Structure 1
Amino acid sequence: MTQAPTPTADTVRRLVRTLLANQKGDETAGGPEVRPVGEDAEPATWWVGTRQVLRLALDGEMSTRRLRELRLRELVRPHIPVAVPSSVAHGEWAPGLICTLDTRLAGGSAEEHRVSAVGETDLAGLLTGLREVPVRRAETLGVPRVPPRSLESLRRAAGEAAERLAAADEFAPRRMRRLTPVAAARLTAGSGTPVLVHHALTGAHLVISVDGRVRGVLGWAGAVVGDPAEDIAGLALAVGSPAAVRAATLAGYGPRPCLRGLWLARCDAVLHLAEALNGGSTGPLPPLLRVRLRRAWEAIMLERATDLGSADDLP
């Protein structure tokens, strides 16, 4: 297994100069200004000047995903109404480890800017476009096909986690009881053709402008072919359940995938907060986990109008 060296600013600066050796834009003899995006001890993502971002694969599996992502973005680009990053250059930054230098999309994250009503139409276009991407072509690029998750198994696990959160005064477990075994059975994934799923529509991967428009989507390395409700769930955690369900409805999804996505998000939010609580950390819980829990449990009109215990089969 390839062992990644520790990335440093000097390493990154030299690497960028090498990647850009045959292109214009190497601003100074010392190379562009670089700084890590995060606060990790070994940061894998670096800002390069003001217009580019360098991402370093830290293991062989990540290298494979990074190369696949480059090809997948080109396949997706014509189908969606929002931007995806363009690759400026790529290569190896260590033996067997890939790096990619991408354009930086202008805007903030969904944690910084609230999505507007027009932004919801952007999200609807994203979901519509993902459904139109040819699945066979995505699979030839190496995008894996994954089966839908069992909502019943998730329901049971989240129910137990809710009790642990209740003991810490973090959550009222009676809220989970609204997802009964009958309801979970009615919200199994539909039998339709699987679609391309981004599978990581987090707030950090949505590029939002100050006016609430969705200007771009990052983080395509984890894309799969599978259950579109997973992306509805991701949006519920990122921008709130009402906005996510409105966007999915505009994209042509019916009550079943919308409500399935809602409950996937709710179960995930409960489980993630409980995992953090039980992780043994003596510090405060990450605020974002509480924010995601609140977003997932926002009420939606579709839920109020649907009786999952007695309704006919949902579309």
Structure 2
Amino acid sequence: MAGCASGLTVDAVRAAKLIRCQFPPLAALPVTPLGEGGDHRAFAVGQRWVFRFPKHSGGGQGLLREARLLTWLAPHLPLPVPVPVFVGQPDRDFPEAFTGALRLTGRSGLETPLLKWEEVGRSVGRFLRVLHAQGAGTARALGLTLDFDPTYSDWQEAALEDLEALSRQWPEVQSWREVLNQTPTSQPGQLAVIHGDLAAEHVFLSDRAEITGILDWADAAIGDPARDLAGLIHWGGRAMLDAALAEYGKTEAGVIERAAWYALCRALEDMAFGLRWDRPTYVEGGKRALTILHMEFADTLTKPR
């Protein structure tokens, strides 16, 4: 495979070379950029496939872990997930693994006006009920790691940094500092297999507002189930959260408090990401989430300690 490419920077031309080198049956298909996040670049290969390439050293191991996890989870979950069919192996031409999966239909919830909050919320609630019930022991054996700090300082420190960066342009965000300084008072009774980054951009929807897939499992972990519920608050507020919980079933005391606090951290993170990378949809999504939290969860976030 010598001469395919080198280094970690991948554009469409280089992605095509790497795919052609390891998967000759796909060589004739066009390769076009789909977008990128903090960790991966994604490319459409023909009309059927999506390939993801890591942007950072060590990212290939994360994609391999994700591939193992999704292969295990997919038969149990009530919604589609992008199980990798192609796994590109690291070699001297590209030092990290990369993966290719069937392209799920629909559009990201971040880009889709959503009117059926309750219907989508119920579907996600059923999905999370099944996901969070999966065996943590099996997930650990597949490489999933523990991601929970009982002091919440990891989330708090990152959110305060985002707050400082954002306040230069939007001084009003400083009003959230007191809430961030008060970390959640509760602890999860049991950690679970979580998506870890469940929010509008990772839920694909059809034109009829039916969920067609849950994407991007790079942050999946053994962690606090409230983190996944936070994505519902961030996206659709109280209406979506309540609809999800009606299907999810019984929750422990404190889970809504933690979910709202995580949603605040996530809103600031999205705004900072959008500002840094000129992604206005993320900025607007974060602003909308702050409005939701102020209007619908203020009592939860500021209750007496």
Normalising by the residue count of structure 2, what TM-score does the alignment of the two structures yield? 0.78
Tell me, which stretches of 5 or more residues in structure 1 are unaligned?
A: 311-315
Q: 1:205 to 1:168 in 2, by over 3 A?
A: closer
Letter in 2 for 1:309: P
Residues 136 and 222 in structure 2, CA contact (< 8 A), matched pair in contact too: yes
Letter in 2 for 1:120: G
**Counterpart Cα distance in 2 of 1:221 and 1:159:** 24
**Counterpart Cα distance in 2 of 1:271 and 1:165:** 10
Letter in 1 for 2:241: V
> Which residue of 175, 200, 205 corresponds with 2:197?
200
Give the superposition deviation at 1:268: 3.6
Partner of 1:308: 303
Deviates more, 1:108-117 or 1:130-139: 108-117
Task: Confirm or deny that 1:7 pairs with 2:4.
Answer: no
Describe how 1:88-167 pairs up with structure 2 within 5 A: 88-92=85-89, 94-95=91-92, 96-115=95-114, 116=116, 117-148=118-149, 150-151=151-152
Q: 1:4 to 1:243 in 2, by over 3 A?
A: farther
> Which residue of 227, 246, 251 corresponds with 2:242?
246
Q: 1:306 to 1:31 in 2, by over 3 A?
A: closer
**Counterpart Cα distance in 2 of 1:167 and 1:20:** 48
Instruction: Give a deviation string over 1:262-296, Cα, whole Å, max 9, x none.
Output: 1221134236646877x7x9xx7845224223224
Describe how 1:159-308 pairs up with structure 2 within 5 A: 168-171=169-172, 173-174=174-175, 177=178, 181=182, 184-186=183-185, 188-190=186-188, 192-237=189-234, 239-250=235-246, 251-252=248-249, 253-254=251-252, 256-270=254-268, 273=271, 286-298=280-292, 308=303
Letter in 2 for 1:201: L
Letter in 1 for 2:237: S
**Counterpart Cα distance in 2 of 1:173 and 1:6:** 37
Normalising by the residue count of structure 1, what TM-score does the alignment of the two structures yield? 0.76
Letter in 2 for 1:101: G
Residues 4 and 97 in structure 1, CA contact (< 8 A), matched pair in contact too: no
Q: 1:246 to 1:148 in 2, by over 3 A?
A: farther
3-state DSSP of counterpart to 1:44: strand
Q: How many residues align?
A: 292
Residues 111 and 201 in structure 2, CA contact (< 8 A), matched pair in contact too: no
3-state DSSP of counterpart to 2:51: strand
Q: 1:150 to 1:241 in 2, by over 3 A?
A: farther
Letter in 2 for 1:48: V
**Counterpart Cα distance in 1 of 2:286 and 2:184:** 25
Give the superposition deviation at 1:257: 1.0
Describe how 1:31-70 pairs up with structure 2 within 5 A: 31-38=28-35, 44-70=41-67
Residues 148 and 227 in structure 1, CA contact (< 8 A), matched pair in contact too: no
Give the superposition deviation at 1:243: 4.4
Larger Rg: 1
Residues 113 and 209 in structure 1, CA contact (< 8 A), matched pair in contact too: no
Tell me, which stretches of 5 or more residues in structure 2 are unaligned?
A: 1-5
**Counterpart Cα distance in 2 of 1:153 and 1:221:** 18
Q: Provide the aligned C-alpha RMSD in A.
A: 3.6
Letter in 2 for 1:256: G
Letter in 1 for 2:262: L
